[in-house]
Amino acid sequence: MASTDGGPFRRMLRKLTSDVEVLDADDLSEDAERSGAQRASDCACGQEVTVFGRIRSVEFCPQSADASLQAELYDGTEGVTLVWMGRRRIPGIEPGRTMRVRGRISVRDGHKVLYNPYYEICQAQ
């Protein structure tokens, strides 16, 4: 039976010729699929989701009395902004960490957002 990915030679050739960012995104996407999480690109507003990915950035936003901690989680398909209201810092939430988050997807300014998600830090880098 023929493989759908073109076989071992094609996979090796792809790894040698592809951009590092593309390969990293593919690895993240495969890890998310193995963990049973939804792909961020497939999540719709109002849906209860579980997303697995790597934190790209963390930012404290003290714009008003409702200060918040924001992080971008990337799963290889799309980024999701994580927002924890009233928090200045959460130990372990830092760029490079791999996490699984769960919550209800919202859309703010055209970007997917999870407010006060449940989270599990899966790996330190």
Q: Which helix or strand (DSSP H or E) is residue 101 part of?
A: strand 98-108
Indicate whether 2 belongs to any domain: no
Task: Say whether pLDDT at 104 is over 70.
Answer: yes
Average pLDDT, integer, range 22-49: 76
Q: Cα(first)–Cα(last) distance of the chain, in Å?
A: 39
Indicate whether 40 belongs to any domain: yes
- For residues 86 and 65, what is the distance between their CA atoms, to the nearest angstrom? 8
Q: Give the confidence band of 125 by pLDDT, cuts at 50, 70, 90.
A: very low
Indicate whether 1 belongs to any domain: no
pTM over 0.75: no
The parent domain of residue 26 ranges over 7-123
Hey, which of 27-31, 63-67, 86-90, 91-95 has the most confident mean pLDDT?
A: 91-95
Q: What is the pLDDT of residue 1?
A: 41
Hey, which of 27-31, 35-39, 62-66, 81-85 has the most confident mean pLDDT?
A: 81-85
Indicate whether 21 belongs to any domain: yes
The number of domains in the chain is 1
Residue 47's domain is classified under what CATH number?
2.40.50.140
Mean pLDDT of all residues belonging to the chain = 80
Indicate whether 30 belongs to any domain: yes
Indicate whether 104 belongs to any domain: yes
